[in-house]
Amino acid sequence: MNPVEIIIKKRNGNKLEEAEIRNFVELYLQNKIPEYQMSALLMAIFFSDMQPQEVETLTKIYIESGKQLQFPPKWHTVDKHSTGGVGDKISLMLTPIAAACGCKIPMISGRGLGHTGGTLDKLESIPGFRTDFSDNEFKQLIEKNGFAIISQSQQLVPADKRIYALRDVTGTVESLPLITASIMSKKIAEGAANLVIDLKIGSGAFIKDMKNAKKLAKLLKTTGENLGQKVKVIFTNMNAPLGNYVGNSLEVLETIEFLKGKMPADVEQITKALAIQMLNLTGIEQNRNKAEKMITEVITNHKALNFFKNFIETQGGDPAVCDDTSLLPQAKYELNIKSPATGYIKNIDSQAIGYALVDLNAGRKTLESKIDHSTGAYLPYKIGDKLQKDEKLGTVFANNKKTGKAVAAKLAKCYQLSAEPIAKQPIILGES
Amino acid sequence: MNPVEIIIKKRNGNKLEEAEIRNFVELYLQNKIPEYQMSALLMAIFFSDMQPQEVETLTKIYIESGKQLQFPPKWHTVDKHSTGGVGDKISLMLTPIAAACGCKIPMISGRGLGHTGGTLDKLESIPGFRTDFSDNEFKQLIEKNGFAIISQSQQLVPADKRIYALRDVTGTVESLPLITASIMSKKIAEGAANLVIDLKIGSGAFIKDMKNAKKLAKLLKTTGENLGQKVKVIFTNMNAPLGNYVGNSLEVLETIEFLKGKMPADVEQITKALAIQMLNLTGIEQNRNKAEKMITEVITNHKALNFFKNFIETQGGDPAVCDDTSLLPQAKYELNIKSPATGYIKNIDSQAIGYALVDLNAGRKTLESKIDHSTGAYLPYKIGDKLQKDEKLGTVFANNKKTGKAVAAKLAKCYQLSAEPIAKQPIILGES
């Protein structure tokens, strides 16, 4: 097997055989194929694409590079994945709700990089909260609380871990086949029998249009189903930050309020749509209306909130934050953001909002950056909302007044207003 | 400057600024950008292409990475480059002919790899012949003999040397902008004021059609002219091996016979077309007919042959080979190749011929392979020629009978015959 021939074969648009992909990846992991040949192959895949069978092979090799978790077959295991968006705290409210309805959710999550925050960063704003647990502890946590959210160990899909790090520095992240193998290998190795995916589309997401979204959804579903995991994809709108808050402890605050019934419309719609699919896939409740009723009930009767409290406590955090959110990290300053004009919001640059908040250390510039859990912004307006010039558009939460003011000015510029009325946008765009 | 952003910018099809290309290449040469980022950028360039200005910048940076040779301005300096073909010995006869007409040719050449042999390998089949000379010696050789053919020193375009080695192992050789920068940087750094390029098109060349040939020619000319070198491109047919012989000492033999007047039609046409352009570019003779007359004369009166003899002697070789070609390395066995059928030659897989002869060590599998200068083949038939089944199609020259027979069988399979008459093909396809 000559690595150059395999690179050229893919570069010329041909399908690679299973043995070719396997040899290339395995020799790479054994340091017998150098990084520069792997990065050339990754860029060739970016341009030449991969057929579903190639993606399945790559996913399988990723999974086999590490160990696989297993749960009792009678458990209703299901996990959720989001392709990432600004203010995306859905995992935080969705997991206790679905668990309160009977699902078992083994969620292995990540930290944020770039313009989107990570679920682990958000949870770690809760004093004492831990995410490093052994496989056995993970299983016990799920058995006890219905769900657990922990960080990825070195033993789970090491091939993806290493290749993702290379993709990150070689401009080869945004490739649908590579994204699919990366997502699905982790989610399958994690041991859940079912998976719901929140596939975000819009200015704040890396998928900008429905055509690419459908292509990715098909790849995700085919790969999952051929490797033994049932997959449901929900397409959601990412043209505005999700909910009212962006920032780590602020999103935990929003989660607690949500579980007490104060639900921003977009977060409610997405959370419920995903929860319905989780109940459906696991067979807990096939009927959509009945499933929605179950979900509304566990919110109304605070069963989900109690699941969240227990979860926090068992993972080492202080559950009192649910009763007194002032126990969460608080920023020193609150600075007003003023509307730059009078008119209807036509466009929101969610990605720029995410990057602006990195100036407050609400997100990471590099993997080594330290997060400030207390900072962020309150941004309640969506596309179609009307504002007066200089009206309060939102709030910045900062620990440095000068930086906070600069960020407030940057955030104001992320909103484009129109004199003409602008239609509100739907949140749920479809499913697959 | 973030290297990933530059990779992504090119990957997304955008034009890179001069400073971006310069920084990337210079930091790479200083080992501050790793090989895997350079290989990702090279693959992105393969797919996203480069605009002429980017190619010019890259060429300039390559040249500036090493030293540049200079010759007296009154010298009629001109060099020749071929994009490479099977049996391409044109440099061997062209240089003494053009030098005999008054050109000064500072040719820095290479060794072969893959299916095509290198000019240096062919010359080194002459007992004692040397190609390692200092810059000063190079200049003296040219002054004395009108031309010299030597190997590339470490000081000439080290950037191209290093990046070419990386391209070779990452499937990024066949990129027109990268090919242009590689060719033109060497040819400009070499110090010739003019350049003729034999751009080969066909099954035995890496350029398969006129469209790509014209695109490459335009890039080569624009780059040369903007960096101070006049360039003329001749498009030639590479659907059959050139001349009658393929193999190192066999091609030297063919060169000597050529300079004595025994000229295969294809070699004669290409050599003369290139020589005419060399006389034209240098201003020695602008008129095509007069130039051709000069060329024919130096062949007929053996002036070119004497230039070739002096060249061999001054570079350490035995000039007696010109009078007694049996002094060249001789293979032990001559094995007949039989025509596989009766009919007209419709297609010749020149590339497969090149690779088959590598089995006899007439070419190199890897840079470390040792060449057998004596082996090769006599293959006089071209597209359109008629053959009878089992008629002699050619001869294999081998030092191992068994391998020789196997190669003869392989070579026979490279000829595709048709029952219907097939038109002969033109050799010169155009110029630019």
pLDDT in tens, B377-402: 999 999 999 999 999 999 999 999 99
Query: Does the pLDDT value for residue A68 go beyond 70?
Result: yes
B260 in the same domain as B149 = yes
pLDDT of residue A113: 66
Query: Does the pLDDT value for residue B181 go beyond 70?
Result: yes
Chain A residue numbers touching B169 (CB-CB < 8 A): 3-4, 36-37
Cβ A171–B11 below 8 Å, yes or no?
A: yes
Distance from CA of A4 to the nearest CA of B (A): 6
From B168, which residue of chain A is nearest by alpha-carbon distance?
A: A4
A301 in the same domain as A337 = no
pLDDT of residue A138: 96
Q: How confident is the model at residue A15 (pLDDT cuts 50, 70, 90)?
A: very high
Of A11, A36, A42, the CB nearest to B46: A11
pLDDT of residue A204: 80
A36 shares contact with chain B (CB less than 8 Å):
yes
**Rounded average pLDDT over A13-33:** 96
- Cα separation of A169 and A159, whole Å? 16
Cβ A40–B44 below 8 Å, yes or no?
A: no
Of B4, B36, B43, the CB nearest to A44: B43
Chain B residue numbers touching A47 (CB-CB < 8 A): 43, 47
pLDDT of residue A353: 94
Chain B residue numbers touching A8 (CB-CB < 8 A): 171
Query: Does the pLDDT value for residue A409 go beyond 90?
Result: yes
A252 in the same domain as A173 = yes
Number of domains comprising chain A: 3
Which tens digit of pLDDT belongs to each residue from A51-60? 999 999 999 9
Decide which of A187 and A154 is more confident.
A187
**Rounded average pLDDT over B73-81:** 96
B347 in the same domain as B290 = no
Decide which of B206 and B271 is more confident.
B271
Q: Is residue B231 part of a domain?
A: yes
B169 shares contact with chain A (CB less than 8 Å):
yes
| ipTM, 2 dp | 0.86
Which of B 128-167 lie inside 8 A of A, CB atoms?
Answer: 166
B256 in the same domain as B316 = yes
Which domain range does residue A235 map to? 78-322
Q: How confident is the model at residue B200 (pLDDT cuts 50, 70, 90)?
A: very high
Chain B residue numbers touching A167 (CB-CB < 8 A): none
The tokens of B341 are what? 């059928």
Q: Is residue A427 part of a domain?
A: no
**CATH code (residue A165):** 3.40.1030.10
Q: Which amino acids of A are annotated catalytic?
A: 81, 160, 167, 182, 186
Q: Which amino acids of B are annotated catalytic?
A: 81, 160, 167, 182, 186
Cβ A43–B38 below 8 Å, yes or no?
A: no
pTM for this model (two decimals) = 0.88
A178 shares contact with chain B (CB less than 8 Å):
no
Q: Is residue B430 part of a domain?
A: no
B168 shares contact with chain A (CB less than 8 Å):
yes
**Rounded average pLDDT over A76-94:** 95
Cβ A8–B169 below 8 Å, yes or no?
A: no
Chain A residue numbers touching B40 (CB-CB < 8 A): 39-40, 42-43, 170-172
pLDDT of residue B113: 67
**Rounded average pLDDT over A15-23:** 97
A342 in the same domain as A270 = no
A113 shares contact with chain B (CB less than 8 Å):
no
Q: Is residue A139 part of a domain?
A: yes
B338 in the same domain as B312 = no
Which tens digit of pLDDT belongs to each residue from B3-53? 999 999 999 999 999 999 999 999 999 999 999 999 999 999 999 999 999
- Cα separation of A93 and A304, whole Å? 8
B267 in the same domain as B126 = yes
Q: Is residue A426 part of a domain?
A: no
Q: Is residue B67 part of a domain?
A: no
Q: What percent of chain B has pLDDT over 90?
A: 91
A7 shares contact with chain B (CB less than 8 Å):
yes
Which tens digit of pLDDT belongs to each residue from A256-312? 999 999 999 999 999 999 999 999 999 999 999 999 999 999 999 999 999 999 999
**Rounded average pLDDT over A9-29:** 96
Q: Is residue B427 part of a domain?
A: no
A279 in the same domain as A359 = no
Of B40, B47, B169, the CB nearest to A170: B40
Per-residue CA distances from A156 to A62, A161, A187 (Å): 9, 8, 10
